[in-house]
Structure 1
Amino acid sequence: MKLFCFWLGDNALSDARRSALSTLKNTGLDVTFLRYDDLGRYINHSDLHPAFPLLCDAHKADYLRALFMHRFGGGYSDIKWIERSWLEEVHRLEKNSHLIASGYPEVDPLHVANNYLCQQLLGASLPARLHSYIQTTYLRRHYRDLIGNGAFIFKPGTSFTTQWWTEVNRRLDNLHDELLQNPARFPREGKGFKIHGIPSKYPVPWVYLLGSIVHPLAMRYRHQISRNLPPLTFSTDEFSSYL
């Protein structure tokens, strides 16, 4: 089974990132590290949404993990330290036909995507904002039933990945015109961010293409998801930025 990870910027990996990348082999999976020019080994660039080139590097990686998990399945990990094997979870998924994915339990309520903030930033209607407030409150209350977004294993082509892939493309359809006017200028950018003290006009809220979609789906499919994957190591400031 392959373990995909992405690095889409022109910048080189820092020493800490290279060190973390070297630990991904501890999963026991076939580590497949892809930069932008490597994507053609797996997909055609025509497979990508027309808005893809306009996204910041972090959002491009969010989009690609949806595509790769839906089309190919297997593992995904952020470039962070991994100390333990994933093979037990691989075997668990292979032996249990009702399971569609495996992840580590979400670590904190505040790590749950804030859909309410997304809807505020997008100028959504009052009913939409109220719905997202209720949803976010509920998901944060039950965060232990969710999986984190930094590493996971998915079977390809499931109802979960189909809905994930469909929704991320629908959201880019809606944002495409705004992205043409205000494409990303920095590797990490989100609607409402201040860049050098100036509010960014980039229209995509930070969690809008990943956690905002995955966390509600993880709750819906929680009985078909194992939450026994070893967690990543998050305890270093080296990974607070996409550098």
Structure 2
Amino acid sequence: MNSDRVVSRLRSAKHAAWVARRRAWAVIEPGVAPAVDAGLKTYSRLRPPTSEHALDVLLAPAPRRIFCLWTGDNPLSANRTRAMAEIRRCNEPEVEVVLVTPDSIDDWVVAGHPLHPAYQDLALIHRSDYLRTYLMHHHGGGYSDVKAARTSWAPAFDALNGDPRAWLIGYPEVSYRVVAPAPTPLHRRLRVHYTRLIGNGAYIVKPSSPMTAAWLAEAERRLDLWRDDLSRFPGDVHSGPDGYPVPFYGLLGEIFHPLCLRFHDHVLQDAAITPQLRDYK
């Protein structure tokens, strides 16, 4: 056997071992829920339900509505305007599309649960991160970044509302490289199981689930901690001046990705609702 063939076989064996190892890692082991809970508790004070029985809840269906958000007073760019037109073209009249702006936000604020007092001091991108969390918990339905849709979301609404155990449907996260930051043990689990995570740019949610309750509670707990610093160093568009306290992923990915893994049994995936992820600004 010549040396080239030996090298080729060794490379094939090494690759096969790597594939087998990745597949083994990607299996959701029985202890993943307690392990993720432990990681979340180390990372924050998030407290998902401890009883699996508590997760057997019958939720209201997701309203056939897609929220898009524009949280500043600046006008939409030409690309964003085209994206909104495309979202409407793909979905209306089967699915209502609502663009929430500073002029209309009060229409969606729930009596007894105002927006967090720190909301106005957030950078515009973090306002969007918090506001989608608020809307998904209290109202449910769809959320999409202002990025062009590719097709109608109606089949995804049907799939979610047709499954009594499902709480959320979204497009699968695109790579382990875009998993949100977390402490090492939790971050490793998120990277290993990234195919079970949902991308942050588009999803449909049933309102008032244990997942959305934990999601909103953790976002507001963080805002409580950051409130004083935000009042002194308010944000602008993407971040803020030195002293602005909110990390880029601090109000969305750092909370949402771990919860997707924690409640993976209640999360569905549909790549069809993946928005345009390039050249959208």
Q: TM-score range by the shorter chain?
A: 0.7 to 0.9
Q: Match of 1:3?
A: 66
Q: Match of 2:42?
A: none
Q: Match of 1:189?
A: 239
Asked whether the equivalents of residues 189 and 200 of structure 1 are also in contact (C-alpha less than 8 Å), the reply is: no
Distance 1:10 1:94 in 2: 35
Question: After superposition, where does 1:180-219 map in structure 2 within 5 Å?
Answer: 180-184=231-235, 186-189=236-239, 200-219=242-261
- Measured against aligned partners, the alpha-carbon deviations of 1:188-219 in whole angstroms (never above 9, x if no partner) come to 116xxxxxxxx732110000100110000000
Percent of aligned pairs sharing the same letter:
37
Distance 2:278 2:138 in 1: 32
Shift of 1:9: 1.2
Asked whether the equivalents of residues 102 and 229 of structure 1 are also in contact (C-alpha less than 8 Å), the reply is: no
Q: 1:29 aligns with which of 95, 108, 128?
A: 95
Q: Match of 2:161?
A: 94
Q: 2:226 aligns with which of 175, 178, 185?
A: 175
Distance 1:53 1:40 in 2: 13
Q: Give the unaligned 5+ runs of structure 1.
A: 116-131, 191-198
Q: Match of 1:127?
A: none
Asked whether the equivalents of residues 140 and 206 of structure 2 are also in contact (C-alpha less than 8 Å), the reply is: yes
Shift of 1:92: 1.1
Asked whether the equivalents of residues 73 and 153 of structure 1 are also in contact (C-alpha less than 8 Å), the reply is: yes
- Counterpart of 1:235, as a letter, is R
Q: Match of 1:136?
A: 187
Who wins on radius of gyration, i.e. which is larger?
Answer: 2
Shift of 1:57: 0.7
Distance 1:64 1:158 in 2: 17
Q: 1:151 aligns with which of 194, 202, 225?
A: 202
Q: 1:42 aligns with which of 104, 108, 132?
A: 108
Distance 1:19 1:216 in 2: 33
Distance 1:142 1:85 in 2: 28
Q: Which runs of 4+ in 1 moved over 6 A?
A: none
Out of 105-114 and 69-78, give the one that drifted further: 105-114
Distance 1:92 1:41 in 2: 28
Distance 1:55 1:79 in 2: 19
- Measured against aligned partners, the alpha-carbon deviations of 1:137-177 in whole angstroms (never above 9, x if no partner) come to 22012110100000000000000000001100001011111
- Counterpart of 2:211, as a letter, is F
Distance 2:143 2:262 in 1: 21
Q: Match of 1:17?
A: 80
TM-score by length of 1: 0.84
Q: Match of 1:51?
A: 118
Shift of 1:229: 4.4
Distance 1:176 1:36 in 2: 20
Distance 2:75 2:156 in 1: 32
TM-score by length of 2: 0.73
Aligned length: 213
Question: After superposition, where does 1:52-67 map in structure 2 within 5 Å?
Answer: 52-67=119-134
2:136 equivalent to 1:69:
yes
Distance 1:12 1:70 in 2: 27
Question: What is the RMSD computed on CA atoms of the aligned residues?
Answer: 1.5
Q: Give the unaligned 5+ runs of structure 2.
A: 1-63
